[in-house]
Amino acid sequence: MRAKPGNPLEKPSGARAGITIHFVDTILLTRTDVEHMLDATALVEEMRAGFVAYSATRGERALRARSTLPQAAGTATVLFPGTLPGLSMYTVKVHAKFPGQTPSIRGVLCLHDMQTGALLAVMDSTYLTAMRTGVAGALAADVLARRDADVVAVVGAGVQGTFQLRALARMRPIRQVWVHDLVHESAVAFASRMTSELDIPVHASNSISEAVRRAGVILTATWAKTPFIEHGMLSPGTHVTTLGPDEPGKAEVSADVIRTSLFVCDDRDLAVELGALRGVGLGPEAVGAELGEVLAGRHKGRESSQQITVYGGVGLAFQDAIAACQVYEKAKDLQVGRKLDFLA
């Protein structure tokens, strides 16, 4: 995860003697550039180490600002700063969410040198965010689900459902997948596409209950405001990764399910402030552990084959920083992207 800040040119400032100005070209990277530079396999291990470091470093917690957009059917969120011990860069990301649009999330990410603040890169953040979120959700599913759980249900046949399933398929064997979406045609298209891509039988389901009753692992990523995973729907030992609730007013898993399960989150405070717990009115007492604590072995995670486990992640800025550093280093090596001097 360590990255070098580049090779800036140093020129003395004419304003004050002894002051040095650091000039460095900023690399502009499109979504296609980011997609080509990001290595999903390497990202898994970097993200695993990142979660461990994040939960061990209590002084550096996630910060974000969120606001509705006046006269618009969307919201805007800023994640800042994305930092992690060992990284020589930090990120600031601005996102806008428009559920009725494709893509529904649009934004940019700025990558800065930690020592000088120099703007190293400006890149599209949509693919990067989808990838790092999918990896995080799959990491949680892999460490919390039973080892013999090989049937997966996906609720929400969108971008994040796709990325979660892809990431999980890299981590553990999957025998069968069921997918449900409010738009059945989307589920059918998802099933066809992912069957071909992963060489795993993926079936479109007419209902959530039909999809989840067969599954040992459930991956959800929707815009739902009312929980649809209810007590009694899940078989003993099921794991649920819920990534839809990443801002107030959203919920996928009921309070009863969370209360009777081991609930693991990426950040305790944010789970209560705006995540899966906020959406169903639960407080910090519902948190069993953070994902980083489980990955580090400081919390044992699943206690039995019968226990239900739930992971609720809101997404943290350090995940952006890990992914962006990887993209930037490879882009420099391959000389990809347009260079621009913002200080010119």
d(CA 339, CA 120) in angstroms, rounded, equals 10
Question: Beta partners for 290?
Answer: 265
For 338: left if phi > 0, alpha if psi spans -120 to 50, otherwise beta; the answer is: beta
CA 242, CA 153: separation in Å to the nearest integer? 12
Contact yes or no for 135/219 (Cβ under 8 A): no
* Residue 148 near residue 160 (C-beta atoms within 8 A): no
Q: Identify how many contiguous H helices and E strands the chain contains and give both numbers.
A: 11, 17
pLDDT of residue 69: 83
Long-range contacts of 197-202 (CB under 8 A, 24+ apart): 197/166, 198/165, 198/166, 198/169, 198/174, 200/169, 200/174, 200/175, 200/176, 201/176, 201/177, 202/176, 202/177, 202/178
Counting Cα atoms < 13 Å in the Cβ hemisphere of 163 gives 22
C-alpha–C-alpha distance, residues 7 and 314, integer Å: 35
pLDDT at 86: 87
Q: Which among 262, 275, 258 has a CA at the least distance from the CA of 316?
A: 275
pLDDT of residue 230: 96
Per-residue pLDDT of the chain (344 residues; tens, 9 = 90+): 444 444 333 333 334 445 555 568 999 999 999 999 999 999 999 999 999 999 998 656 778 888 888 777 788 888 888 999 889 999 999 988 888 888 888 899 999 999 999 999 999 999 999 999 999 999 999 999 999 999 999 999 999 999 999 999 999 999 999 999 999 999 999 999 999 999 999 999 999 999 999 899 999 999 999 999 998 999 999 999 999 999 899 999 999 999 999 999 999 999 999 999 999 999 999 999 999 999 999 999 999 999 999 999 999 999 999 999 999 999 999 999 999 988 87
Give the separation between CA 55 and CA 253, rounded to whole angstroms: 24
Place of tokens 């989150």: 265
Instruction: Give the span between the Cα atoms of 44 and 161, in whole angstroms.
Output: 17
Q: Select from 319, 331, 121, 156 the least CA-distant residue to 241.
A: 156
Domains of the chain, first to last: 9-129+318-340 (3.30.1780.10), 140-316 (3.40.50.720)
Beta bridge partners of 77: 66, 95
pLDDT score, position 10: 37
Assigned token pair, 157: 């046949």
